[in-house]
Amino acid sequence: MNAAHVKYVPGHKTDKKDSAWVCKLLLAGLLKPSYIPAKGQREIRDLTRYRTTLIQSNASNKNRIIRILKDANIKLSSVLSSTSGAVGTKLINKLCDCMEVTMQDIEEVYHKKLEASKAEIY
């Protein structure tokens, strides 16, 4: 049954007599039953919740990477508007591969839509 509806039924819900009385009310149809969605809707809700969890985990990992870079005195987020974009991802991958990014590496990933110049990124 719906717990919010039972909340307003008088008496103590923990007493044996009151719980038996609530049972009789439920059997008589005087209390609203709980809403149980169809199986398809429950599956969609579960998938939506899982998707939300994955998105939050992804954002948390991106923030963790930015924090680690800042600790290493690599302030990529102050130069690029999005460190998770194509240029930011490529630069982070280059940092992970060779531990150092050269001006040639920046020229490989740079495109003209960036607000920062190559020198600022370097």
Q: Do residue 29 and residue 40 come from a single domain?
A: no
Domain encompassing residue 116: 36-121
Phi, psi (deg, nearest 5) at residue 118: -65, -40
Q: Do residue 103 and residue 69 come from a single domain?
A: yes
Q: Do residue 69 and residue 106 come from a single domain?
A: yes
- The predicted-structure confidence for 14-68, as pLDDT tens digits, reads as follows 678 777 877 887 788 777 777 889 999 999 999 999 999 999 999 999 889 889 8
Q: Do residue 7 and residue 30 come from a single domain?
A: yes
Provide the domain count of the chain.
2
Mean pLDDT confidence for 101-114: 77
In terms of DSSP H, where are the helices of the chain? 3-7, 16-28, 39-71, 86-98, 103-109, 118-121
Q: Do residue 42 and residue 22 come from a single domain?
A: no
**If you ran DSSP here, which 8-state letter would residue 76 be given?**
G
